[in-house]
Amino acid sequence: MMEKELPKGWEIIRLEDLPITFRRGVNAKEKGIEGEVYYIPSGANFPNGIKTEKIQKISLEVYNSFKEGAALCKGDVLFNSGGVGTLGRVGYFVGLDLQAVADSFILIIRTDTERIRSKYLYYWFQTHQAQKLIRENTKGTTGITSIKSSDIQTFIIPIAPIKEQQIIEAKLDSIFAHLEVAKQGLEKIPVMLKQFRQTVLTQAVTGKLTEGVGWNKIKLGQLVGKGGIFDGPFGSNLKSQDYTVDGVQVIRLENIDFLRFNHSKLTFISKEKHKTLVKHTVDQGDIIFSSFISENIRACILPKLEFEAIAKADCFCIRPDENKILKEYLIIFLVSRITYNMLVNHIHGATRPRINTGQLKVLEINVPPIQEQTEIVRRVEALFSKADAIEAQYIKLKGQINQLPQAILAKAFRGEV
């Protein structure tokens, strides 16, 4: 912003020409939860403020070993001057019930409020303009980057008259408070959609979407043909050194999402290696089921792939007899909470909870007549399509809200709020 573009009474000034002091935090090697003094670690804990629940504590003995003046004061700006992925993050110290100090990676910036208010400076450091200056002055080549206070002091900043600074602060505080409420409300939508989809699935496979007449409970093993449920190759049959850059695709756990096949991760073996693993070949229309079950079940119908493919270990292939059960209905049952509740008690493995094909074969499926299965699938797809439309709107709105802070800050420092 050129000076001629500034609102009346505004100035462009270097930080070094303003009554601002920079002081580095302290290095407290002994940190614990039983201390009497707060110890604020580096900027990972305050992307847009300070999360007090993550603040550590140190003892009074450690605190008293620091030089006088180490304590933070209300209104200090905390600037993360180094680290991996946290450089340039800022916090505004609102004061705590106990004395507090900051980590040595943090620059404590204190202002003379008769010339520049600390909250005004805190907000300015979050603008694209300030963050660009930070990136341009960052040094370090080993992954851990840093910036010196002497470099920060060369930054130029648009300064409003002190009373206008106060107005800008108050408006930004109010806007960002409302924005945070909106974001918290928005984040409830994915949870609600997840619950909605599971409710639809439960109603679908219990007959509540349709008549529910003439249903039977049949074990999954009886709904597939011979060899219709199988696992991928284990152990020495398929090693990491067998992977190649092309050839036959290997379906892995990373490819299995909730009712969706993830095409983004491709793994291959050679066609020669495939000849030894041909019994694990999977085809379009097969149901691919993840053996690892944590919060939910991941399974999908395999779409048409560009390559011939096999399933890896712990990726079960289910090939239903469609004279008995439609694959589109079966996948609805498999990813429902009813299936989850039946399988969760059979999970084994402390670090990677999973089931085996034997447990899957004896899973009891609620099977309606084929005509009703078709209608259930149609209704579920229609309801899921509505949920997908809401989710798409949520993603779009979330993106717009995430862009708002910078747009708001830009207007603020042009004097337009």
Query: What local confidence, expressed as pLDDT, does residue 384 receive?
Result: 97
Residue 179, classed as helix, strand or coil, is: helix
Domain layout of the chain by residue ranges: 3-160, 216-367
Percent of the chain exceeding pLDDT 90 equals: 73
Asked if residue 1 has pLDDT above 50, the reply is: no
Average pLDDT in the 184-191 region?
95
Torsion angle of alpha carbons 174, 180, 184, 186, nearest 10°?
A: 90
CA distances from 401 to 133, 137, 255, 394 (A): 24, 29, 30, 10
Torsion angle of alpha carbons 171, 172, 175, 180, nearest 10°?
A: -150
Query: What local confidence, expressed as pLDDT, does residue 404 receive?
Result: 95
Q: How confident is the model at residue 50 (pLDDT cuts 50, 70, 90)?
A: low
Query: What local confidence, expressed as pLDDT, does residue 261 receive?
Result: 97
Mean pLDDT of the chain: 91
Asked if residue 23 has pLDDT above 90, the reply is: yes
List, in sequence order, every residue forming a beta bridge with 358; answer none if it has no partner.
Answer: none
Which among 27, 51, 29, 38 has a CA at the least distance from the CA of 103?
27
Q: How confident is the model at residue 215 (pLDDT cuts 50, 70, 90)?
A: very high
pTM: 0.81
Q: What is the per-residue pLDDT across 157-174, written as a single tens digit (0 to 9) for each?
A: 999 999 999 999 999 999
From start to end of 7-59, where are the E strands?
A: 11-14, 20-24, 37-40, 56-58
Backbone angles phi, psi at 339, to 5 degrees: -65, -45
Asked if residue 279 has pLDDT above 70, the reply is: yes
Kindly state the DSSP code that residue 67 receives in the 8-state scheme.
Answer: P
Decide whether 3-160 matches 216-367 in CATH topology.
yes
Q: Is-contact 282 261, C-beta < 8 A?
A: no
Q: What CATH topology corresponds to 216-367?
A: Adenine-n6-DNA-methyltransferase TaqI; Chain A, domain 2 (3.90.220)
Residues near 276 by beta carbon (within 8 Å), at least 6 away in sequence: 237
Which among 407, 413, 391 has a CA at the least distance from the CA of 179?
407
CB atoms within 10 A of CB 391: 16
Query: What local confidence, expressed as pLDDT, does residue 144 receive?
Result: 74
Q: What is the per-residue pLDDT across 345-395, written as a single tens digit (0 to 9) for each?
A: 888 766 678 899 999 999 999 999 999 999 999 999 999 999 999 999 999
Q: Which residue has the higher pLDDT, 56 or 382?
A: 382
Of the CATH numbers 3.40.50.10860, 3.90.220.20, 3.90.1170.50, 2.40.30.10, which one belongs to the domain with range 3-160?
Answer: 3.90.220.20
Which among 20, 9, 14 has a CA at the least distance from the CA of 157?
14
**In this predicted structure, which of 29-43, 124-138, 208-222, 353-367 has the lowest mean pLDDT?**
29-43
